[in-house]
Amino acid sequence: MRGITYFRIFKNTRYMVNLITQVIKDITSFLILLFYSTLAFAFIFLVMDKEDPKLIDYIKISYRLDLGDFDPTDFTSMQWVCLFLATMINMIIMLNLLISIMGDTFGKVQENAEIADRKELLGMIIEIEALMFWKKKCTERSYFQALTAEESEEIEKNMNTRVTVIKKNIKRYHLETIKRLDILEGMLTKMQTKSEGEKKEYKDEKHSNKESGEESGEESGEED
């Protein structure tokens, strides 16, 4: 079993080693229940056998029953009932429960695959450093950094995406600014035109008032 852990050297097998380890940890409680159930049915079949039975033989039969391998040729009615219960509990319910547990474990490992990969790699490095006896007195802490090509490409892709978004925003703001400037320019032109019109009206009115004043003065002189 120790040899399997050395497959952590390779990235593709490192994930599988971690998955196998997690599955074994998660099914420990299940294996205890399955072992108890298998042993219980072995004792039940042992009690029903009126001949000279051997416990080890019925443990083997019960284990084979878990895998769907059984021969009920000479079974009695009670043995058939026990066979039905054993197939329902051990072979159908328990083994399907095992598949469900393994599926949940696979999901958890898949979610934390990157973190687990780093942990396995660090664990392997620590094991190698443990063999370096000349570094055992070294207590200085250090950091482990890893940068892969995939991560670099992903970072570059994200940066390019952000730059593209920024360019689009700048272009949009530029167009909006030009549009607002055009509106302001139009408003200023209208205000300037209106102001010039008012000035012209004021001059015309002033000129007409002046002319009317001169005419009034001439009429007064003629009367005198």
Give the C-alpha separation, 97 to 121, whole Å.
32
pTM of the model: 0.49
Q: Which two tokens stand for residue 140?
A: 């200085």
Average pLDDT over residues 9-30: 80
Q: Is the pLDDT at 188 greater than 80, yes or no?
A: yes
User: In the predicted model, what is the mean pLDDT of the chain?
Assistant: 76
Q: 89-103, 105-119, 164-178: which has the minimum mean pLDDT?
A: 105-119
pLDDT tens readout for residues 138-184: 677 777 666 665 555 666 677 778 888 888 888 888 888 888 888 88
> CB count, 10 Å around CB of 166?
10
Q: Is the pLDDT at 117 greater than 70, yes or no?
A: yes
DSSP string, 166-186: HHHHHHHHHHHHHHHHHHHHH
